[in-house]
Structure 1
Amino acid sequence: MSAELDALTVVNQLRDLAADPLNRRAIVEDQGCLPGLILFLDHPNPQVVYSALLAVRYLAECRANREKMKAELGMMLSLQNVMQKSTSPGETKLLASEIYEILQSAGKEEAEQAEAAAASCRRKAQFFLGSNNKRAKTVVLHIDGLDDSTRRSLCEEALLKIRGVISFTFQMAVKRCVVRIRSDLKAEALGTAINSTKVMKAQQVVKTEDGGELILPFQEDSAVLVEENTDIPDYLPEEESPSQEQDKAVTRVGSITDGMGWLSTAANFLSRSFYW
């Protein structure tokens, strides 16, 4: 297995572990994983960089992590480098910018933190906080047929091919996917991509004036042309994807004990790869 493939495998595993809120504190407290993710931000493979950014974005969702992440050597500088690098894809720059803004705001006065925490509670049904960047918006999808890790992988592949998708997270228990997209991308494009799998059907979840939720189906004749994202390489094939191995903790949401066992393996890889 090549060194680059090893790096992609490890960063994808860390991304999937970070997607579970139960793992986020432990990943940041680990002595090797957070420094390793920072080094991945300068990797020549753009998919490694993008997956590392997704992992960091998940970790930043935990408010208790932000001060440590901001203070970690090289974190803010690496995010700036990704944002300023001319070869970085647009979605990668936008995601790095959102993370930078979140971490930059860490450490403000307690009153401001309390206000932000209250706002976060009002939006806890959504994964990504607010609209830190006016060029992006959040779309919540209810996906009929999103029943297992195989269907989730199909959904991931469909979304990753859409130019304008910044990031996404799944809420498997309620068959939902929260997608962060550029403001100029229509939600119908997401529905078209997911419906193209032939085994899943997407509907949009919107808030009503009284605070409730309304599930709106996409019109059958509203299929839009999906512009494929050629800047970011495809994920690993299914037979090589670590998320498909049923004995790995990343396939069992909430399994923090097993997940921490894998973190030790990841830390060892990072230590061998980056520290002399």
Structure 2
Amino acid sequence: MDAVSVVTHLRNLASDPLNRASIVRDRSCLAGLILFFSHEDPHVVEAALQTVHYLCDNSNHCEIMRHELGMMVSLENIRNSDTSNHIKLLAQRIYMLLSAPSHLHTPETKNTQNNLQFFISSANKRAKTITLHIHGLDDLERKSLCEEALLKVKGVISFTFQMPIRRCTVRVKPDLATECLTSAVAETRVLKAQQVMNEYGKEVYVPLACKENKEEKDKCLPDYLPEEESPQKDLEKALTLPGSKDESRGSWLNAAASFLSKTFYW
């Protein structure tokens, strides 16, 4: 077995929620994934990040992985590296999920069973909240596109989705123009955002112009402001690949752990 095959099988195993607890409990697998973060092959790095992202579905898993030696440092190194943008965005997302205190909850967590909480909180009192209606927000794939688009906008602090009603609530720095958000969503080519406003007790959709000129767009983007305290509890199931039977699941996990144990020294 080589690094590519091992990390690919780990990713496939992690895509099944039934396997995630076993992977997190196996210290060899976690340590191996951390080492894969610094692999010279970007495909290996990306697959390792995708594996850890699957494991972040549970706050208990996040607590374990956050304290795994080298995990946070390696993610920080990827965020500051010259690798491809989507790999850095994935590392950023995982870093925020692992940094989020597991004991915090927001009203949306209590009231909406299908609501994705993505590092959102009220810790920053200077932030403003913008509610967007996202046309085309119909499935997990498009939600992922929307997440990546919003993560690219400097000044976005946090956001949370309400998939059944195609809503996205975004917390941003006070000087960030709402048009920057709608422009970022429009760049997905399959989604369109409108601001939701409350007028005389009724909700109305406000169409906003999208900034096409990149230089003008950059002017409205303040520096990125990280959130210090933020809960995360992903209440939606991650995209899963076809699950394997218990026998093959166990054998692949054992094989991967054996390979990692023989290849690396911790």
Bucket of the pairwise TM-score, normalised by the shorter protein: 0.5 to 0.7
Which residue type is aligned with residue 74 of structure 1? G
The Cα shift of 1:117 comes to: 4.6
Larger gyration radius, structure 1 or structure 2: 2
Does the 8 Å contact 1:82/1:96 carry over to 2? yes
What residue number does 2:57 align with? 61
Bigger relative contact order (CA 8 A; separation at least 6): 2
Q: Using the alignment, how far apart are the partners of 1:68 and 1:102 within structure 2?
A: 12
Counterpart pick for 2:254 among 239, 264, 273: 264
What residue number does 1:9 align with? 5
What residue number does 2:265 align with? 275
Does the 8 Å contact 1:139/1:187 carry over to 2? no
The Cα shift of 1:275 comes to: 1.8
Q: Using the alignment, how far apart are the partners of 1:99 and 1:119 within structure 2?
A: 25
Q: 1:113 to 1:78 in 2, by over 3 A?
A: same
TM-score, length of structure 2 as denominator length: 0.54
Say whether 1:122 aligns with 2:118. no
Say whether 1:21 aligns with 2:13. no
Counterpart pick for 1:37 among 29, 33, 38: 33
Q: Using the alignment, how far apart are the partners of 1:119 and 1:254 within structure 2?
A: 34
Does the 8 Å contact 2:100/2:119 carry over to 1? no
Q: 1:62 to 1:254 in 2, by over 3 A?
A: farther
TM-score, length of structure 1 as denominator length: 0.52
What residue number does 1:146 align with? none
Q: What's the % identity of the aligned pairs?
A: 36
Structure 1 unaligned regions, length at least 5: 144-158, 167-181, 190-249
Q: Superposed, which structure 2 residues align to 1:1-276 within 5 Å?
A: 6-85=2-81, 87-107=82-102, 110=103, 112-113=104-105, 117-118=109-110, 121-123=113-115, 129-130=117-118, 139-141=137-139, 183=185, 185-188=187-190, 252-253=242-243, 255-275=245-265
Which residue type is aligned with residue 190 of structure 2? E
Q: 1:142 to 1:58 in 2, by over 3 A?
A: closer
Q: Using the alignment, how far apart are the partners of 1:52 and 1:68 within structure 2?
A: 17
The Cα shift of 1:254 comes to: 5.6
C-alpha distance after superposition, 1:192-223 (max 9, x if no partner) = xxxxxxxxxxxxxxxxxxxxxxxxxxxxxxxx
Q: Using the alignment, how far apart are the partners of 2:96 and 2:262 within structure 1?
A: 32
Q: Using the alignment, how far apart are the partners of 2:44 and 2:28 within structure 1?
A: 17
3-state SS of 1:188 partner = coil
Structure 2 unaligned regions, length at least 5: 121-133, 152-183, 192-239
Does the 8 Å contact 1:53/1:96 carry over to 2? yes
Q: Using the alignment, how far apart are the partners of 1:40 and 1:63 within structure 2?
A: 23
The Cα shift of 1:185 comes to: 3.6
The Cα shift of 1:140 comes to: 4.2
C-alpha distance after superposition, 1:81-113 (max 9, x if no partner) = 00001x211101111001000100134xx3x24
